[in-house]
Structure 1
Amino acid sequence: MKVLWLAAFPAPHEAHPAPVPWIFTLAELVSRHPEVELTILNFAEDITVPVDEFDNNGIHFIYLRVPRRRHDILSLYQWRIAIMAKYLRQHYHHYDLIHLHGSELQYQVASAGLDIPQLLSVQGLVSEYAKVVPNPVSKLKFLWMLAGYYECKYMPGIAHFSCRTHWDKAHIARLNPQATIHHNWESLRSEFFAAPTPTAPSGRPQVLFLGGQQEMKGFRETLVAFDLARQRQPELKLVFGGRVNEAEVEQAVQQAGLRHIRPQDVECHGFLTADGLAQLCHESLCLLHPSYIDNSPNTICEAQVAGLPVVASNVGGVSSLIECGHTGILTDLNPRNLADKVLLLHDDPALRHRLATQAQAVAQERHNPASVLQKTLDIYHAIL
């Protein structure tokens, strides 16, 4: 079975690639299966040839040279879409199936009209994400509205979707009532399934936030909630993963007028390896995930698999991952409520242990690599 993925798989030379671990992990699983011959197609703006092809770890990679991001936006993505669409028209007949990973990058526009079975795995839905961007005149709002236009216009042309949560299934059914909706969870990195490495106690309970400085992941709400929590439990520490450093956190604290967060109360680890992130999960009190919108966030899934209790905002598809009071805690974006939930876990070790244990059992079954791989293959066969 020759399968072509259109996926945001970073080119090897990219200095700061976007992290897409669920795609890496599934690609590795699929490429090892003797029944599948996997090719991954993506675009890159800084390659020197129009088409860059190579093989690596049993996967054939193809990267198409596209314009710089500024020119891409000025063309309303049409230039980039046209390059990929032209390539697909010339080469799609070499494959049995096209698997589109997400609708955010207009893959479904480039593949529109091709006479070949297609599957689109929903990651997020930018047409819905754009509705909750706090700043109505921001660049993010504009870009998500633009991507959302392509999403809504071309989703009805896709016959098969792979969804994860109640939320994405409901929106796909609305956008395309004739679609066949399959269910499959994302694959997670093996490091989160491993038993924790024993470490000496750090001395301070730490709250883990992995959204970097992203407004939509609740950066501001996290700082305010942490400031409130430290008024009652001053030993708490806040640990960041993602694109943010200590100076940026300190500046945000000062701008918000928060008086209970000192520089020594914050650690920033940047982008971590899977091992490093799993270790932070094992060392932390809880994961705080107060996002404005999400479908099936990888950070929640990985934390649950690693055995870290989660406090998350009840938005999008998150309640498909967390049964409140059983496999985690759901709340809203009110910093006072977020702080109360963090303190509840801090003050009740038995509750913390129960939520972590129950969530880990559910999540390890939900994201079992063999099950996710088999379901992927079953969907391929059902479509063909």
Structure 2
Amino acid sequence: MYLPDTDTLPLRPPRAAQTPASPPLAPARPLRVLWLAPYPYSYTPTTHPVPWVVSLAQRLAARPAEVDLTIVNWEETLRTDEEHYEQDGLHFVFLRTPRTRHDILTLYRWRVAVVARWLRRHYRHYDVIHLHGSELQLPAVVAGLPTDEVPVVLSVQGIVSECVKYVPELSWYKALWTLAGFYERRYLPHIQHFLCRTHWDSAHMQRLSPGARIHHNWEMLRPEFYAATRQPLPQPDVARNPQILFVGGHQVMKGFREALATYARLRPEMPGLQLIVAGHVGAREWAEESRRAGLLDLGPDDVQCVGNLSAAELVGWMRRCFCLLHPSYIDNSPNSVCEAQMAGLAVVASDVGGVSSLVRDDETGLLSSLQPEQLAARVRRLYHDAPLRRRLTIAAQAKALRRHHPDTIVQRTVDLYRLLSQGAG
């Protein structure tokens, strides 16, 4: 601040006594945020890595002046009721819950009660509570909390009560997802803030919780896919080695049957065409679906099952194939589609759920019905039209990079926490 030389100022009458200046304001403390999230337990290496959750947590940990993050999850192998540890700037609390069998036999009530009891003892220490997904009964855990004291926001993942409609009948999955769907319908109406990504999840949250506030943000992807955007666009050898990628194992809901049926229609007209299947594929399911599709003479030169892939391995396959085939029955914002767009792989996807929020037909990919004839027609266009493939991949990669830019996602998250903590959400 500029201060003039007092020797040059004219004399003035003395002023009345003034109130001393207020001391400078102390810097604002970071927001104390509590996550209930399926974050991997450090000592269970087989736990699902949930990369979209882990990546966001790591980015928030790098901003300690703004966010102080505690993550709560449960683990059935603990020897004590609670385990606390710190790692990479994050605070972790793991709670001992019943084994999976007992969890199911109690209809999840035991586990819900364990986490809810902990939360009621500690929620006042936090400015915001963030639930990651509704699949694991998290809305039931926070039921009854005074949200005027601590706001609660839920990031939508899948919507179990919708997805269960497409799970094969007479299966354990059907029973378990039906139970999870009951919890979802029963407790989601108590949530007043949702983080959504697509038109589809936004509409369903407004239906399930009328009057709730919908906020928008995308999810982060694995680092390997951001690195892929810095490479030249892939140039698959379609003439000599045409390959289609399907990422879904033998999951019926992900379109395993439709992928095989589509391949059966294309194989006679595309010499050397290979279907690359990523994910788990059981021998029995493979035999059944091959018979169903009329593909009784398949060999490793026709369909290659590559199993569960690391991010780097998946990027490699995406750069070798000319098309991602995603004939899913239901999806919100499938990571495989987002990752393919980042890696520069053209996408043919079924127009279901929130997929059209990711893929604009004939601009950033090709949309289709679930009919194998129509799926095959879309793949055929990509096979024969290299300029189309290039146009779609350039546009899709640029849009995906903007959509999933880490800095944007983290800033929107911090801004939302600040908004909610001020009671302005």
TM, length-normalised to structure 1: 0.94
Cα deviation for residue 184 of structure 1 reads 0.5
Give, in whole Å, the separation in 2 of the partners of 1:17 and 1:378: 30
1:305 pairs with 2:339: no
Worse-superposed segment, 25-34 or 289-298: 25-34
8 Å CA contact 1:227, 1:259 repeated in 2: no
- Name the counterpart of 2:163: 129
1:337 pairs with 2:374: yes
- Name the counterpart of 1:76: 107
Give, in whole Å, the separation in 2 of the partners of 1:206 and 1:52: 47
1:237 pairs with 2:268: no
Cα deviation for residue 260 of structure 1 reads 5.7
2:177 equivalent among 144, 160, 172: 144
Aligned positions of 1:72-221 closer than 5 A: 72-115=103-146, 116-133=150-167, 135-194=168-227, 195-196=230-231, 203-221=240-258
Q: Check 1:326–1:198 CA distance in 2 against 1; reply closer, same or farther (3 A cut).
A: closer
Cα deviation for residue 316 of structure 1 reads 0.5
- Name the counterpart of 1:32: 62
Bigger helix share: 1
| Secondary structure class of the residue paired with 1:216 | coil
Give, in whole Å, the separation in 2 of the partners of 1:186 and 1:324: 22
Q: Check 1:381–1:321 CA distance in 2 against 1; reply closer, same or farther (3 A cut).
A: same
Cα deviation for residue 234 of structure 1 reads 3.1
Give, in whole Å, the separation in 2 of the partners of 1:25 and 1:299: 17
Aligned positions of 1:264-343 closer than 5 A: 264-343=301-380
Give, in whole Å, the separation in 1 of the partners of 2:285 and 2:243: 19
Cα deviation for residue 279 of structure 1 reads 2.0
Cα deviation for residue 142 of structure 1 reads 1.8
Cα deviation for residue 74 of structure 1 reads 1.4
8 Å CA contact 2:264, 2:294 repeated in 1: no
User: For each residue in 1:78-124, what CA deviation from the matched residue of structure 2 results, as whole angstroms up to 9, or x when unmatched?
Assistant: 11111111111122222111100000001111111223211100111
Q: Check 1:270–1:49 CA distance in 2 against 1; reply closer, same or farther (3 A cut).
A: farther
Aligned positions of 1:357-368 closer than 5 A: 357-368=394-405
8 Å CA contact 2:236, 2:319 repeated in 1: no
Aligned positions of 1:61-72 closer than 5 A: 61-72=92-103
User: For each residue in 1:178-212, what CA deviation from the matched residue of structure 2 results, as whole angstroms up to 9, or x when unmatched?
Assistant: 11110111111221122348999775121111111
1:5 pairs with 2:35: yes
Worse-superposed segment, 250-259 or 237-246: 250-259
Cα deviation for residue 336 of structure 1 reads 1.9
8 Å CA contact 1:246, 1:266 repeated in 2: no
User: For each residue in 1:132-160, what CA deviation from the matched residue of structure 2 results, as whole angstroms up to 9, or x when unmatched?
Assistant: 33x33322222112111111111111111
Amino acid at match of 2:96: R
8 Å CA contact 2:74, 2:96 repeated in 1: yes
8 Å CA contact 2:82, 2:94 repeated in 1: yes
Give, in whole Å, the separation in 1 of the partners of 2:231 and 2:299: 30
Give, in whole Å, the separation in 2 of the partners of 1:381 and 1:200: 45
Aligned residues between the structures: 383
8 Å CA contact 2:233, 2:344 repeated in 1: no
8 Å CA contact 2:264, 2:293 repeated in 1: no
Give, in whole Å, the separation in 1 of the partners of 2:235 and 2:259: 27
Q: Check 1:197–1:355 CA distance in 2 against 1; reply closer, same or farther (3 A cut).
A: closer
User: Structure 2, unaligned stretches of length 5 or more?
Assistant: 1-30
| Secondary structure class of the residue paired with 1:355 | helix
TM, length-normalised to structure 2: 0.85
Q: Check 1:256–1:246 CA distance in 2 against 1; reply closer, same or farther (3 A cut).
A: same
8 Å CA contact 1:250, 1:263 repeated in 2: no
| Secondary structure class of the residue paired with 2:376 | helix
Q: Check 1:77–1:321 CA distance in 2 against 1; reply closer, same or farther (3 A cut).
A: same
Identity %: 51
Answer with 1 or 2: which has the greater Rg: 2
| Secondary structure class of the residue paired with 2:71 | strand
Kindly report the root-mean-square deviation, in angstroms, between the aligned alpha carbons of the 2 structures: 2.0
Kindly report structure 1 stretches of 4+ aligned residues shifted beyond 6 Å: 197-202
Amino acid at match of 1:360: Q
